[in-house]
Amino acid sequence: MSKSDPNAPKRLALITSKGTLDWAYPPFILASAAGAMDWEVGIFFTFYGLTLLKPQLTAAVSPLGNPAMPMKMPFGPEGFQNINWPMPNILMANVPGFESVATTLMKQTFHNKGVATIEELRQMCIEMDVRMIGCQMTMDVFGFKREDFIKECEIGGAATFLEYAADADVQLFI
């Protein structure tokens, strides 16, 4: 069985499973772009992705496990900014405090280049009525309560998402 209503708008169904700054971007960028194209959008926030539904976003990024991360400085002359610092990943990933350095550098770089913040993109999604579903099981496992998340989201499980995704034209796991 395909879509019940042939005149329904296109639908995008996303699963967001990661909560770091770098991985927070793809779902909110795709969701807001789809919303801008008048598509229906639903996002299922599960595992670490669930933290992206907290009122205060604290998403950070670590070089640990990201060996392809370019290491560039978001300040100084252009030539300096274009240097890709040859730091071994094993070193960056193990220096205490480097995660907050990397997070600051990434946020500053994104700001300089004109990329919206995660907060702005999420707000866009809310204004576009993107359906945001927080995973009940993840809440139970990590000890979260309904009040820990923004009021605009709903709470549901795998079946809730699958029912929505069954009628979607595009489904992605992020």
Total binding residues for another protein by CB under 8 A? 16
- Secondary structure element (H or E) that encloses residue 112, with its range: helix 98-113
Subset of 39-98 contacting another protein (CB under 8 A): 39
From CA 130, how far away is CA 13, in angstroms rounded?
A: 10
Which residue from 41, 30, 60 is spatially nearest to 131, judged by alpha carbons? 41
Task: Please report the beta strands in the chain, taking only residues with DSSP state E, as ranges in sequence order.
Answer: 11-16, 40-45, 131-135, 154-156, 170-173
- Please tell me whether residue 16 binds another protein under the rule CB under 8 A: no
Rg, Å, the chain Cα set: 18
- Please tell me whether residue 11 binds another protein under the rule CB under 8 A: no
Looking at 93, 106, 124, 168, which residue binds another protein (CB under 8 A)?
A: 124
- Please tell me whether residue 115 binds another protein under the rule CB under 8 A: yes
- Please tell me whether residue 105 binds another protein under the rule CB under 8 A: no
- Please tell me whether residue 126 binds another protein under the rule CB under 8 A: no
Binding site for another protein (CB under 8 A): 10, 29-30, 32-33, 35-39, 113-116, 121, 124
